[in-house]
Amino acid sequence: MKQYKERYPKVQFAALDVAHAEYKTYTKLFAFPNDFYDYVGYVNPGPNVKFTLSVAMSKGKVPATQDELAAYAKVLQSLHVFTGKPPRAH
CA-CA-CA-CA torsion sign (57, 27, 12, 9): negative
pTM as predicted: 0.85
d(CA 62, CA 65): 9
Amino acid at 35: D
* Domain presence at residue 66: yes
> Does 85 reside within a domain?
no
pLDDT digits (tens, 9 = 90+) for 44-74: 999 989 999 999 999 999 999 999 999 999 9
The reply to whether 9 falls in a domain is yes
- Tell me if 19 is assigned to some domain: yes
Number of folded domains that form the chain: 1
User: Cβ(75)–Cβ(55) under 8 Å?
Assistant: yes
89 part of a folded domain: no
Query: Do the beta carbons of residue 54 and residue 44 sit within 8 Å?
Result: no
Domain containing 6 equals: 2-77
Residue 87 pLDDT > 90? no
Is 87 part of a structural domain of the chain? no
* Within-domain flag for 88: no
Compute the C-alpha angle 51/5/1, nearest 5°: 30
Looking at the domain assignment, is residue 63 inside a domain?
Answer: yes
